[in-house]
A = this chain, B = another copy of it.
Amino acid sequence: DYSKLDKIIIGVCGGDGIGPMITGMGQHVLETLLADKVKAGKVEFRVIDGLTIERRAELGCAIPPDTMEELKACHVILKGPTTTPRKGDPWPNVESANVAMRKALDLFANVRPVKVPELGIDWTFYRENTEGGYAVGSQGVQVGDDLFIDFTVATSQGCERIARLAFDYAHKTGKNRVSCVTKANIIKTTDGKFLDTCQKVAAEYPDVVFDDWYIDIMTAKLIDDKRRRDFKVFVLPNLYGDIITDEAAEIQGGVGTAGSANIGKRYAMFEAIHGSAPRMVQEGRAQYADPSSVLRASVMLLEHIGEIELAKKLDRALDICMFEKKKYVITGRDTGATAQQFTDYVLETIASL
């Protein structure tokens, strides 16, 4: 409960590529909305700039130890996308900083809302965030020259805590439906456990309708306009959550429009769901990056620290500004707003609410 703290420390960790710029936009909006509290010493922003790919590559680690200390000294974190090296990149193969942070801070729930008011879509994805194929991602085994094995992991506790969070949310918000998405017909042991656990937890929430789906058919359902409005809350193992939230975000207007909350018992981290877009930077188009992902993440950050009214305001302003933006694109009037212009427009809109 953040209201009991003397001061809430918000870490701002820019990341790579377009990250520092769009994260800066998020910080600017949050500082504007929280100005009184900052002045009164109730909220402090701390910029954490040690999490760059250059530094991680040089030190050969996913998160440098000093940066980890800084992160752990915060209560909540606003984080930009970080680059994960891939073949052909100039960096050695260091682990994903995202994934490392989720594990190190035990951020077990990745909550990703997707809303398309015009289409009646209002989805919230509860993605398990530390297990599945991500648990021991870099510790697969090679047997001789020709056999390769990776591991997928689930624990009772891991399944239970994400299921409970999803049902609590559905119950609390009156959304009243939780859909579990697995591939339990094939990945029987881990997905089977995940599904079983959701079924068990469902029994404790008689007011919430529960159903379960396979991930393959769910990717079809999300783009079926006759049925998709009926879905409300999803609960899914890590990898399926990863996959399907990009699809869902595209329906909302692109992965650049979706924010995500990584929630644990002690820490919480808020980020864009997309990558660091190095190509935009190379091509000199970084200033046109869409900051709405980070601004949506900022809504969730505000909610999380108990600033419900401010969260609602920012959310409402984003609904308006993103709808306007889509209209511009559709009618061909999109003049290509920069991140700064879009952010200014969001702040103006808030002021006019």
Contacts and interface: CB of A to CB of B under 8 A. Distances in A.
Interface of A: 84, 86-87, 96, 99, 133-134, 137-138, 140-142, 145-157, 183-193, 195-196, 199, 215-217, 219-224, 239, 242-247, 249-251, 254-255, 275
B156 A145 contact: yes
21 contacts: A84-B185, A87-B196, A137-B187, A137-B188, A145-B156, A148-B154, A148-B192, A148-B193, A149-B190, A150-B151, A150-B187, A151-B151, A183-B242, A187-B239, A217-B275, A219-B246, A219-B247, A219-B250, A220-B247, A220-B249, A220-B255
Nearest to A153: B149
Contacts of A192: 148
A216 B186 CA distance: 20
Contacts of A140: 187-190
A290 B184 CA distance: 26
A228 B251 CA distance: 14
Contacts of A215: 243
Contacts of A191: 150
A189 B134 CA distance: 12
A87 B220 CA distance: 22
Contacts of A186: 96, 99, 133-134, 137, 239
Contact of A153 (B147, B156, B243, B247): B147
Contacts of A86: 184-185
Q: Which of A215, A242, A251 has the most CB of B within 10 A?
A: A242
Q: Which of A154, A215, A216, A247 has the most CB of B within 10 A?
A: A216
Nearest to A136: B149
A36 B137 CA distance: 56
B147 A195 contact: no
Contacts of A254: 220, 224
A282 B253 CA distance: 39
A186 B152 CA distance: 11
A118 to B, nearest CB: 16
Contacts of A219: 219, 243-244, 246-247, 250
B153 A151 contact: no
A250 B220 contact: yes
Contacts of A87: 195-196, 199
Nearest to A249: B220
A135 to B, nearest CB: 9
Closest 6 CB pairs of A and B: A140-B189, A220-B250, A219-B247, A146-B156, A216-B246, A150-B152
Given A151-B150, A188-B140, A247 B247 contact: yes
A5 to B, nearest CB: 33
Contacts of A134: 186
Contacts of A96: 185-186
A184 B88 CA distance: 13
Given A146-B155, A251-B223, A216 B243 contact: yes
Given A150-B189, A151-B151, A189-B141, A183 B223 contact: no
B223 A223 contact: yes
Contact of A149 (B138, B151, B156, B243): B151
